[in-house]
Structure 1
Amino acid sequence: MKFVFGKPTDEPFDRETEISILTSMISRNQPTAVIGVRRIGKTSIILKTIKNIERPKIYINAEEFVEGKSFDLISFLSYYSSLIIAEAIKFLEPKKKFSFMLKQRGEEAINALRELLGYVKLSFNINLVSIELFINRKSGNSKDSIRELLNLPQEIAEKIGKDYLIVIDEFQFLKLAEQNLPGLFHLMRGKWQFHKNVEYVVSGSSIGMLERLFSSKNESFYQFFFPIYINPFSREVSLNFLKEGFKDEGISYEEDSLNYVIKELDGIPAWLNYFGLKSLECKVVNETCVKKVLNDMIVDPIITAIVRDEYNKLSKNAKKVIKFLAEKGGRGSLRGIPLGRSSINEGVRKLINDGYIRREERGVYSIIDPLIAKILRVI
């Protein structure tokens, strides 16, 4: 096992239980939500799970379509539709490649996109040849067009005789699209719940928001998704992770020093990987090495840029709340914070929804990621 930072892997460490559960849910066509804080390895678990599933499948990350505080629904639906068509083609018998049925459904999808989106480009591959379809602007009924597009995977699945798998990562960002298209989630739920040949898996890091979407009677996806929670590594798993990583890298270590790292990074896989990579500069991972690397991580330009970027996206009140908690060591009450009650409530609600803090007891909150707490004290 090699330490890797900054990109998902389809061979995540010690996630067999989560992978087994997700595989089981997919096999029974149970809509599933994979939920966990940032940098916990959700995407890696999903990639490993779908890697060995032999059925048409697409993966799309909704965060890629966020523009400031809005969502580019046009590009999302264009990409979503092109992936569905391209993946279906792979599973047709050679003599049936781009059969009349699929050609017809592709044309219908394009017409729906034309009505909804205006001028877009839809790209997919047929027998390794790239096809690009340019659609001219035309007005139409957006909700009717979306209904047509949402039915596309089910209708194609029926025709090609294969169950479909749709994975939408960072699903919570689609909520932004409802600002311009109210009722989007209602349309999605209305179609998805009757798709017998399509399995939907979503994931996200905005824990509080997703829990509300899935558990509130007022929300469209009430009691629709089965949740799988991805937790940080336990102390034992974190220790084994570091030991195996250093063993494969040929680096000696002192176990007591590794225990100190585990306490400081609290089982967040991304930070454990980064620590492992930075420690390769040490001849031996001992107390001196560990303290230097951990101190360096707090001011590391890559890590601080990540934290600063996320911090800057928070609301004014959320910034003040999380900064106040960071200055108290990452945990405590909000007594003494220079905010009014309504502002405190708004900030706390935002941070819980986005998965940055948790309520430990009445009036006491903690920052989930200990490294973020340390960095916010110095930026």
Structure 2
Amino acid sequence: MLFDPNPKSKREDLFGREKELEEFNKSLHLNERLIIVSGPRRIGKTSFIRVALSESKYPYLIIDVREIHGVYGSVSKYSLYSKIAEFLTSQMRLSKKLSSIFLDFIKRIKIFKVSGISIEVIPTKRLPDVTVLLRSLDECSAENGTRFILAFDEAQYLRFSGGVRYDEIIAWSIDNLENITIVVTGSEVGVLKDFLKLENPESPLYGRYRHEIVLERYTRDKSLEFLEKGFSELSLQVQRSELEEVVNLVDGIPGWLTLYGYYRGVRRLSHSEALTAVFSEGSKLIKDEVTRIIASSRGRYLGILEAIARGARTWKQIKVYLMYRTGPITDARFTELLTTLVKYGLVVKTNNEYKIADPVLEYLVNSGDL
């Protein structure tokens, strides 16, 4: 169902990404070792990765790095291995058994135990290095005549590593493991780039080949087509003028279009009720994350966001508003704050003008509830 608000896993439920799926599959078939999938929040990266990997027919692991960081506070070896065990458990419960490559991997690495329909990390004083796990996966893949895909969703959180240098590990994997492709995704695109440092000569990943796929917002026509197709699935007639209003307000972001479709088509709210729910409930979904990002200089970050939400577009206009709101600030410090908001994907810069990236975030800023 197109209007299912949960991450998709089937191609028929993933709308408008045929070109990107073809590009991803080609990269896998060429045995490329690093694929980067990026795009703004709620663009559908997790759904895209799930569909792409399920169609690939290769064995894979998807690691939600943001969830690990949220639960453990860092992405240590133990937290990473626990997440791997959780993923393997879900796969076993889904298919009633594990594939031969996972069974070989568990036997070889000897840090997981199978208990009924659960897989757990065996308590031990010293866990093997991540490179040992990757080497084992590579060997198992070679012996099974296949390729293995390791996907880090929201990989920018790998910088909270608990002492593990994940950038070095990824570089080592690219250089040494012929049968593994690493996929990294990120919605905080600037932060992800800062973590990978692909253009920095001092970075472990400098000069390594990677294939980059950027998921863009839907165009206006594509947004209308998505809504029309979704409501057609539900056999619900919706006025064109209502669809156009939704498209005008949510700016081509698939997550919010889907949420509107869910409220309108599945929950059967009225048009105005569904729109209100998208912005009010959407604000609740993003509030904690935004609050975390701006916590280090809350007043000034809020001032910048308020300035842009109220129509300031240029560097100078935003700075003037911020100084009126919070007092004097140096050019360097102001630029640093504004650049940080761009890196985290809260603000976008186009032709030297700035705007808030997400209409729901703009609504949240204007509501005064942030």
TM-score (norm 1): 0.80
The superposition leaves residues 126-145 of structure 1 with CA deviations (integer Å, 9 ceiling, x where unpaired) of xx75465632325xxx8x83
Match of 1:303 in 2: 282
Q: For residue 318 of structure 1, report the CA deviation from its aligned partner.
A: 3.4
Match of 1:199 in 2: 181
Q: For residue 243 of structure 1, report the CA deviation from its aligned partner.
A: 0.9
CA 1:305–1:194: 2 relative to 1, 3 Å: same
Match of 2:301 in 1: 318
1:31-110 matches, within 5 Å, as: 31-67=34-70, 70-79=73-82, 82=85, 90-92=98-100, 103=107, 105-107=108-110, 110=111
How many residue pairs get aligned? The number is 346
SS in 1 for 2:185: strand
Match of 1:135 in 2: 123
Q: After the TM superposition, which of the residue ranges 252-261 and 269-278 deviates more from structure 2?
A: 252-261
Distance 1:136 1:32 in 2: 33
The 8 Å contact of residues 85 and 106 in structure 1, kept in 2 or not, is answered as no
The 8 Å contact of residues 77 and 130 in structure 2, kept in 1 or not, is answered as no
Distance 1:152 1:318 in 2: 45
CA 1:193–1:274: 2 relative to 1, 3 Å: same
Q: Greater Rg, structure 1 or structure 2?
A: 1
Distance 1:294 1:102 in 2: 48
Match of 1:347 in 2: 337
Q: Does 1:242 align with 2:227?
A: yes
* Aligned counterpart in structure 2 of residue 372 of structure 1, from 345, 350, 361: 361
The 8 Å contact of residues 55 and 162 in structure 1, kept in 2 or not, is answered as yes
Counterpart amino acid of 1:227? E
Counterpart amino acid of 1:320? G
CA 1:130–1:309: 2 relative to 1, 3 Å: closer
SS in 2 for 1:334: helix
Q: After the TM superposition, which of the residue ranges 315-324 and 366-375 deviates more from structure 2?
A: 315-324
Q: After the TM superposition, which of the residue ranges 61-70 and 19-28 deviates more from structure 2?
A: 61-70
Gap runs ≥5 in structure 1: 111-121
CA 1:307–1:331: 2 relative to 1, 3 Å: farther
The superposition leaves residues 161-193 of structure 1 with CA deviations (integer Å, 9 ceiling, x where unpaired) of 32211111111100111xx42644123312332
Distance 1:318 1:182 in 2: 31
CA 1:188–1:248: 2 relative to 1, 3 Å: closer
CA 1:329–1:40: 2 relative to 1, 3 Å: farther
Q: After the TM superposition, which of the residue ranges 182-191 and 151-160 deviates more from structure 2?
A: 182-191
Match of 1:118 in 2: none
The superposition leaves residues 262-309 of structure 1 with CA deviations (integer Å, 9 ceiling, x where unpaired) of 1111111111111122324898x9xxx5455434533x2x32212321
Distance 1:68 1:342 in 2: 35
Distance 1:366 1:330 in 2: 7
Q: After the TM superposition, which of the residue ranges 129-138 and 227-236 deviates more from structure 2?
A: 129-138
Match of 2:275 in 1: 294
The superposition leaves residues 35-72 of structure 1 with CA deviations (integer Å, 9 ceiling, x where unpaired) of 01110011111111111222221111111111489414
Counterpart amino acid of 2:100? L
TM-score (norm 2): 0.81
Instruction: Identify the structure with the greater strand proportion.
Output: 1
Q: For residue 375 of structure 1, report the CA deviation from its aligned partner.
A: 2.1
Q: For residue 330 of structure 1, report the CA deviation from its aligned partner.
A: 8.0
Gap runs ≥5 in structure 2: 324-328
The superposition leaves residues 228-274 of structure 1 with CA deviations (integer Å, 9 ceiling, x where unpaired) of 00001111110011111222223222213312221111111111111
The superposition leaves residues 77-134 of structure 1 with CA deviations (integer Å, 9 ceiling, x where unpaired) of 32366479888994439xxx967x973x223xx3xxxxxxxxxxx3447xx7546563
The 8 Å contact of residues 319 and 347 in structure 1, kept in 2 or not, is answered as no
Q: For residue 311 of structure 1, report the CA deviation from its aligned partner.
A: 2.0
